[in-house]
Structure 1
Amino acid sequence: MRFLLPLLLLLTACAPSDGVRRDGSDWPGYGGIDENHYSPLTEINDGNVGRLKLAWHHDIGGGGASLSAPIAVDGILYYASGYSVIHALDAATGRELWTYDPQSWKGAGQKMRAAWGVRGIAYDNGMVFTGTIDGRLIAINARTGHPVWSAQTIGKDDERYVTGAPWVFKGKVVIGHGGADFAPVRGYVTAYDQRTGKQLWRFYTVPGDPKLGFENKAMAMAARTWTGEWWKYGGGGTAWNAMAYDPQYNRIYIGVGNGSPWNRKIRSPGGGDNLFLCSIVALDADTGEYVWHYQTNPGETWDFNSAMDIELTRLKIGGKERDVLMHAPKNGFFYVIDRATGKLISARNIVPVNWASGIDIKSGRPIENPAARYPDGKPAIVYPSPFGAHNIEAMSFNPGTGLVYIPAMDQGRVYIDPAEPLQGWKHLDGQRISTGTGAPPPGVVPDRPATSFLLAWNPATQSEAWRVPMPGLRGGGGTATTAGNLLFQGNAAGKFVAYAADSGKPLWSFDAQTAVMAQPISYRARGRQYVTVIAGSRFPSAVGLAREWNYRTQQWRVLTFALDGKDRLPSVQPVETPVIDMPDFTVDPARAAVGAGVFGQRCSICHGANAVSGGMAPDLLQSGVPLDRASFEEVLRKGILRERGMPRFEELTDAEIEALQHYFRQRAREVLAAQAAAKPGAQTDRGLNEGQ
């Protein structure tokens, strides 16, 4: 921990109060003051946004978290970088006040292979709350940066981890976890006392072993919707992302994840709805007791989880005002649900889907296409893909326009049972896999290119208002909207854009010099409205953009804007990061093929498909580490770079490490040959400093 200002200054002019201003001056949690990623501030509006300029910027060292949302309370901005390293900045100037590092990488172990960063933090009662990859929930004194308490939310040698934001309300803080895609995990959420860190209640999202008894009536009910010995596979249902607190009904709504493994034929071979997978579950905020649920995908088998945004408002439907919950999960439909009862009001697909023809309003159940469940070993091309029509990039709702703004995608995936007998969890080359699906047959591919776009959707009429195409396969970042008729969104091409919220007309843009995928926030500090967003690319592979982002040359930053701001970003200085080859290295194609398999199972999630990085991690074709056997082993087996986010792979054999070396040299020569064949000057950095 390090402190950059005297404590006296922290305790006076920059000290946060225990309360939160509800007039839009503060943005205390992931969803803002109302869960809708909406600001009621109007100083910056559609009439003057052309005057919006960079007010200050703050360089992030040690790697960022590209989908992490900052918060702002009483003139202080808080954000997380790396593995939940929390920073406090003066929100008007960007001056750093304190930094707290929980050093979660020390206890994360193999969890670092599956997850990175943290998507959000929260403020309440003078404390900042964060989860960590090693499963802790930490309360930090917002004035001083000192930890107040730390609670371990998972068990010893548990394979769960925390990357989602905490939710705070009524002296409580609630946290979920991830892990079901990589281990036999049973999901739950836990509430803690904000003052002491004492556990208050826990709600499991799927039932456990019946022989051990059920925790409550809800689990007994849910167990009747499972078959076989599901508990041996964990079941899944992790609440790893979105929730929402509803003060009107004193409820916390939980967005529940997919099954573990994905393929229902494995975890629940006799069928069944598998509650509460892919559901919104309403709990009593005081006791954690079950109130109601709505399941978007009964018996899900495609990774169509419902862990995406949950937004709350009142809509006039059929001439009557109703309290509603709005939800756009992965499966391609937009749902409007009655908050009082949990009953479906309306649902309509926001992208073309083929797994269902619609949602039956009376029963609330999807009208499924049986072929989409890849029966009898037959492949199925299913839309959407596991990336979803909407993923974790935040959507937002503007009560003034009545529109919801969704970072949307249209892409498909081929599903098929694995070639070997369905046997549940297994290890592939030492890496546990969770899908329970197989490789697609040759020539079976989605029938249209993947696209992405910003979609404005009218939830009252279930109709599209407008859309803006986005660059790349997953090109649109999280959104935030304001009462000034503005919608802010960054994109994969490096632009941060303000649109007219009612029409979608682009009104202003800023070149961030790297991708902007995190959700923005807006707040007031020293009487002035600001807009802040975190910039930095963590794409797991190069996505064919005109400007692909390089891990070694991009600069992660906090960018803050205000009317007539005076700051500028430094000019981009060209840096050569060439692909490296060893001319005297003789590639063995057989060993390279083995290396490709090892890379695909262990490395590609961060270093990119086909060993071409897109900013998430270093491009290994440009790295000298794999060239030196001793250095390579130090990184892989001993984990000397764990603090910087590189996991340890102690189980790799000598033959596998050598195979990786052959694979990298083979790919390096392929890339170099392609570069030589390409026309010179095909891609340039023209316009990098535009709009500053």
Structure 2
Amino acid sequence: MKKASGVFLVAALLLQACGGGESEPQDLAPEAQVSAPEMQEAPQADAVSDVSHRGGGSDGAYYAELDSINRSNVSSLGFAWEYPLYTNRGQEATPVEIDGVLVTSSTGGRVVALDAVTGEEVWRFDPEIDMQANRVICCDMVNRGVAVQDGRVFVGALDGVLYALDFSSGKVLWKADTDDGSGRGLGSTGAPEVAGDVVIIGNSGAEYDVRGFVTAYDVKTGERRWRFYTVPHDPKAGPQENPELEDAVKTWDPESRWDIGGGGTVWDAIQYDPEFNVVYIGTGNGGPYHRAKRSPAGGDNLFLSSIVALDPKTGRVKWHYQETPGDSWDYTATAPMTLTQLNIDGEDAPVILHAPKNGFLYVLDRRDGKLLCANSLVFQNWTSGIDMETGRPVMTPEHADYSTGPKIVYPGSPGASNWHPFSYNAQTGLYYGAVLDMGNLLMTAPETKPYKSKGLNTDASLIFGPNLPDVLPMLPPFVQEAVKALPEWSRVEESPAKSELRAINPLTGETVWAAPYAGWQDRSGVMSTSGGLVFAGDVRGFFNVYDAQTGELLKSIDTGTSILAAPTTYEIDGVQYVAVTAGWGGGGWSYVPRYGAAYERKNEGRVLVFKLGGGETPKPDLLPPLEPAPAAPEGLFADASPDLIGKGRTLFYDNCAICHSNQHRSIAPDLRRMQPYTHEIFNDILLEGLLVDNGMPAWGDLFSVEDADAIHAFLTDEQRNVRARELEMQAKDIPLDDPSPALLSSY
């Protein structure tokens, strides 16, 4: 895969004006199908094509100028080889191929180098993460990829250590601990980015207590060059680290919740622009979630939910654009960015294409951050549109301000789009990507929650739209009444969610074609090629190939493994290969959807590679049939009071449910199905870390014995209820995996 030479829109898109502007809250999703522009002649691919970037080139376009696999022959695409990753955690990385070696990252920052033709292992690297020290990572132990330059492979490990590995051997050349010494819930799941002679890495943890930052290290030595914090610190603590933060702190209440850190983590979305020698970072949500809790007097809260352009030499800000001022909805701006050129009003402009969580597709001028276009991709009610004069969203607090009561907010916190890479195709002029049209209920209590070190500090509860009708009857009557009175309630009942792979006109936001995904958790990264093809996997385990112009499904390969990551493609000795990492995980990772491959088969992470004339793809083994929950020990918590069980329920959902969703086929153990011996050692596991080597950290520094007993009482009560229900279902020959009441995802 090579960077596109001469990336321009086709004639059919030239001189089109941008959309945007104000309107009442409405369904802004483009339903009309517009005709696709004509394809341009495909460039000729080299005999050997190296992929030096995850997105194919420094533009992050996930577009390949390879056409040996094309519309006329893709029907013969089949299995070439696989490599097991020895994990059941999520796989989100896109491999990189150089000189016949395919390199990819996996769980926690592991790296493997493989022969790109045969799949034979060349070397592998394991950072050996200490799970006890890094128990607070949100949303699975994923890793989104490596960076490769000058014979070095760079990877950020889950514990925040950045490694430089020798490309030939995997030997550690240097490592740097990116932790800032604050003792907070910091981790690293995103891909590093090389920008000239520095490599830059961010971190995760905004849901916990982290103050976001990115750090640049010398490519050759690992020496720290600079660090840029994305949000200011408490002004009472002294001067900010740089002048830009002195300006930013003016957009925060002086009495903000500085103890929680502020959020703004750069957990992905770092993109170097060699044309202007700028590195763009996308920043995350605020913490706690609602601005009324985080910054009571209001303010934009820079640099939350922003794209910030930094000088790679100094780390100083060149420009910024805030996509969601005063974020209260987890609308991170950490979606991958695409750098390209578009003809806007008769002028070729260097632009960033960005589709973050908040529902808009933005076109920004790379030179100064000026907003050129902003078009909504989904129904949304947090804003009625973008004021193109100011570049600011027109807020609608009557629909989205849940500090005054429960609100159903669109788009939902999982985002209209998320970390899954989009693909910009230089031939078609279209932007391909996964789009989710869904809302969720958001609530927060009037009182302020105390700060929890390395604990969830969002101070909000959310319920995803598809789960809301099942969960609502479990909530207090006054909440039920308030929710049903909302104008969005009927929308949730009629259309809980719609997830699609779309081909989008980047200047208008119009959908040219759309292919349905199976459900709201079904999204994946995308790659397109000059062979007229779009490649994308799905949660069901199918690897799909579409016609880039029409969206016709040309090939679908059943792999038996859920696919979330974006593919890559490369050519060696005249043979084009397509590679993708597969495995269910990421946000909502422990809750396996019933339509997902991981629900019926073992969730075995692996690298899958395909070629023309390949064979049938082997599938993981089927999981055994579900049995009724075991009986809880007789007498255990039999006399537990409702107050004790209620306390345990709150502690469980506040701290444990993010991994132990307690659903059928959970990847983490379903704690409603504990064996008698597990009950006997429950406190040893929870408080003392008996199973820390299995990935279950100790929580004795957070929970007291009384807390552990409360959680245990709640789970035991749940187990008895589940067993009774399932025995009744079994007696009536009802399948045990019939949908049960959905998970209340409470932060």
Task: Report the TM-score, using the length of structure 2 for normalisation.
Answer: 0.82
| Residue 362 of structure 2, aligned match among 323, 335, 338 | 335
Kindly indicate whether the alpha-carbon contact (under 8 Å) linking 1:381 and 1:412 is maintained by their aligned counterparts in 2.
yes
Alignment partner, residue 489 of structure 1: 536
Alignment partner, residue 712 of structure 2: 658
| Residue 442 of structure 1, aligned match among 464, 470, 480 | 480
Alignment partner, residue 647 of structure 1: 697
Deviation at 1:627, TM superposition (A): 4.6
Alignment partner, residue 534 of structure 1: 581
Alignment partner, residue 52 of structure 2: 28
For the structure 1 residues 245 and 376, does the alpha-carbon distance in structure 2 shift closer, same or farther, using more than 3 Å as the test?
Answer: closer
Kindly indicate whether the alpha-carbon contact (under 8 Å) linking 2:232 and 2:246 is maintained by their aligned counterparts in 1.
yes
Whole-Å separation in 2 of the counterparts to 1:286 and 1:664: 57
Alignment partner, residue 457 of structure 1: 504
Alignment partner, residue 133 of structure 1: 158
Deviation at 1:658, TM superposition (A): 3.1
Which residue identity lines up with residue 541 of structure 2 in the other structure?
Answer: G
Please tell me whether residue 637 in structure 1 is matched to residue 687 in structure 2: yes
Q: More deviation in 409-418 or 507-516? A: 409-418
Please tell me whether residue 502 in structure 1 is matched to residue 549 in structure 2: yes
| Residue 63 of structure 2, aligned match among 34, 38, 52 | 38
Name the Cα RMSD after superposition.
2.7
Please tell me whether residue 194 in structure 1 is matched to residue 232 in structure 2: no
Q: More deviation in 202-211 or 192-201? A: 202-211
Deviation at 1:207, TM superposition (A): 1.5
Q: How does 1:227-376 map to 2 (within 5 A)?
A: 227-230=253-256, 231-374=258-401
Kindly indicate whether the alpha-carbon contact (under 8 Å) linking 1:334 and 1:348 is maintained by their aligned counterparts in 2.
yes
Alignment partner, residue 18 of structure 1: none
Please tell me whether residue 559 in structure 1 is matched to residue 608 in structure 2: yes
Kindly indicate whether the alpha-carbon contact (under 8 Å) linking 2:137 and 2:186 is maintained by their aligned counterparts in 1.
no
2:525 match: secondary structure: strand
For the structure 1 residues 213 and 573, does the alpha-carbon distance in structure 2 shift closer, same or farther, using more than 3 Å as the test?
Answer: closer
Deviation at 1:485, TM superposition (A): 1.2
For the structure 1 residues 195 and 454, does the alpha-carbon distance in structure 2 shift closer, same or farther, using more than 3 Å as the test?
Answer: same
For the structure 1 residues 69 and 667, does the alpha-carbon distance in structure 2 shift closer, same or farther, using more than 3 Å as the test?
Answer: farther
Deviation at 1:208, TM superposition (A): 1.7
Deviations 1:541-564 (A, max 9, x none): 546534562498332221100111
Which residue identity lines up with residue 653 of structure 2 in the other structure?
Answer: G
Whole-Å separation in 2 of the counterparts to 1:310 and 1:617: 32
Which residue identity lines up with residue 144 of structure 2 in the other structure?
Answer: R
Structure 1: segments with no counterpart, 5+ residues:
1-20, 684-692
For the structure 1 residues 55 and 237, does the alpha-carbon distance in structure 2 shift closer, same or farther, using more than 3 Å as the test?
Answer: same
For the structure 1 residues 568 and 415, does the alpha-carbon distance in structure 2 shift closer, same or farther, using more than 3 Å as the test?
Answer: closer
Kindly indicate whether the alpha-carbon contact (under 8 Å) linking 1:122 and 1:130 is maintained by their aligned counterparts in 2.
yes
Alignment partner, residue 12 of structure 1: none
For the structure 1 residues 223 and 144, does the alpha-carbon distance in structure 2 shift closer, same or farther, using more than 3 Å as the test?
Answer: same
Deviation at 1:506, TM superposition (A): 0.6
Deviation at 1:338, TM superposition (A): 0.8
Deviation at 1:353, TM superposition (A): 0.6
Kindly indicate whether the alpha-carbon contact (under 8 Å) linking 1:139 and 1:148 is maintained by their aligned counterparts in 2.
yes
The aligned length equals 656
| Residue 603 of structure 1, aligned match among 656, 673, 676 | 656
1:45 match: secondary structure: coil
Q: How does 1:208-223 map to 2 (within 5 A)?
A: 208-211=233-236, 212-223=238-249
Whole-Å separation in 2 of the counterparts to 1:234 and 1:201: 20
Deviation at 1:82, TM superposition (A): 2.2
Q: More deviation in 227-236 or 348-357? A: 227-236
Deviation at 1:242, TM superposition (A): 0.9
Kindly indicate whether the alpha-carbon contact (under 8 Å) linking 1:171 and 1:193 is maintained by their aligned counterparts in 2.
yes
Whole-Å separation in 1 of the counterparts to 2:731 and 2:97: 49
| Residue 629 of structure 2, aligned match among 559, 568, 580 | 580
For the structure 1 residues 236 and 568, does the alpha-carbon distance in structure 2 shift closer, same or farther, using more than 3 Å as the test?
Answer: closer
Deviation at 1:512, TM superposition (A): 1.5
Q: More deviation in 206-215 or 329-338? A: 206-215
1:549 match: secondary structure: helix
Deviation at 1:652, TM superposition (A): 5.2
Q: Which runs of 4+ in 1 moved over 6 A?
A: 21-24
Q: More deviation in 577-586 or 473-482? A: 577-586
Deviation at 1:572, TM superposition (A): 3.9
Kindly indicate whether the alpha-carbon contact (under 8 Å) linking 1:50 and 1:508 is maintained by their aligned counterparts in 2.
yes
Whole-Å separation in 2 of the counterparts to 1:658 and 1:203: 43
Deviation at 1:289, TM superposition (A): 1.5
2:251 match: secondary structure: coil
Deviation at 1:295, TM superposition (A): 0.8
1:105 match: secondary structure: coil
Alignment partner, residue 612 of structure 1: 663
Structure 2: segments with no counterpart, 5+ residues:
1-44, 464-474, 739-747
Which residue identity lines up with residue 187 of structure 1 in the other structure?
Answer: G
Q: More deviation in 245-254 or 461-470? A: 461-470
For the structure 1 residues 74 and 387, does the alpha-carbon distance in structure 2 shift closer, same or farther, using more than 3 Å as the test?
Answer: same
Q: More deviation in 120-129 or 531-540? A: 531-540
Which residue identity lines up with residue 503 of structure 2 in the other structure?
Answer: A
Which residue identity lines up with residue 596 of structure 1 in the other structure?
Answer: R
Which residue identity lines up with residue 250 of structure 2 in the other structure?
Answer: R
1:670 match: secondary structure: helix
For the structure 1 residues 380 and 658, does the alpha-carbon distance in structure 2 shift closer, same or farther, using more than 3 Å as the test?
Answer: closer
Deviation at 1:462, TM superposition (A): 2.8
Task: Report the TM-score, using the length of structure 1 for normalisation.
Answer: 0.89
Deviation at 1:426, TM superposition (A): 3.5
Q: More deviation in 29-38 or 317-326? A: 29-38
Please tell me whether residue 404 in structure 1 is matched to residue 431 in structure 2: yes
Q: More deviation in 33-42 or 567-576? A: 567-576
Kindly indicate whether the alpha-carbon contact (under 8 Å) linking 1:115 and 1:163 is maintained by their aligned counterparts in 2.
no
Kindly indicate whether the alpha-carbon contact (under 8 Å) linking 1:135 and 1:154 is maintained by their aligned counterparts in 2.
yes
Please tell me whether residue 669 in structure 1 is matched to residue 724 in structure 2: yes
Q: More deviation in 491-500 or 206-215? A: 206-215
Please tell me whether residue 66 in structure 1 is matched to residue 121 in structure 2: no
